[in-house]
Structure 1
């Protein structure tokens, strides 16, 4: 029960194959031989297109993988920075105490 994976060959491919077969036609070659050569060329073109599509799919997968890796690395390099400012009263208290000390010094010395 083998599946038939043969797809229909486009008319453009058939025309291309026939032109190549006619270009390589030898003197005394029958039409049947030319047709068989054209069929071989059609199979070659179909195989080439299949391989080209496969390579293109692999390249697309690789580029998508690289893009996803690249986006992950940029996210990792730029983590969310949450800055919390905590205001304390200590600097203000120390400033006021120092001014008070200076004021007391001037009052007591003069």
Structure 2
């Protein structure tokens, strides 16, 4: 036994916010009501407060979007920077891999010079 339930479509956050804003504006207008003020005047004040609240919320959402754009740009720049650093590290490691021969070459040269100096010193100082 199925029952066709007619439910209202899910309410979006914006519509709920608009209803909340309208209710809040009406509460504020009623709280600042002056003696002798007509209901039409109170409704006009509530409408003004509502417009002001909506304008404020729009400005805040614009600021939030701008901030999100800036954060996104900073993240992109930081990703590019880290990528460049990793490329630099790879290049440095490639250059350090060709340098391990240098200490061995210098060691061989120093021993060669030591032997040459030793032999010359022996030949010069030997009794003839």
Query: TM-score, structure 1 length as denominator?
Result: 0.66
Aligned length: 104
1:100 to 1:17, Cα distance in 2 relative to 1, 3 A: same
Q: Higher helix share goes to which structure? A: 2
Report 1 or 2 for greater relative contact order, CA contacts < 8 Å, sequence distance ≥ 6.
Answer: 1
Query: TM-score, structure 2 length as denominator?
Result: 0.59
> Is the CA contact (8 Å cut-off) linking 1:17 and 1:38 kept in structure 2?
yes
Q: CA RMSD in A?
A: 3.1
> What do the CA deviations read for 1:67-97 (whole angstroms, capped 9, x no partner)?
4334544655672213231526654156235
SS at match of 2:101: coil
> What do the CA deviations read for 1:40-83 (whole angstroms, capped 9, x no partner)?
21122111101111011102212332343345446556722132
> Is the CA contact (8 Å cut-off) linking 1:21 and 1:38 kept in structure 2?
yes
SS at match of 1:28: coil
Structure 2 Cα separation of the partners of residues 29 and 94 of structure 1:
105
**Superposed counterparts of 1:79-98, under 5 Å:** 79-80=88-89, 81-82=92-93, 83-84=96-97, 85-87=99-101, 90-91=105-106, 92=108, 95-96=111-112, 98=114
> Is the CA contact (8 Å cut-off) linking 1:25 and 1:34 kept in structure 2?
yes
Structure 2's unaligned 5+ residue stretches are: 1-13
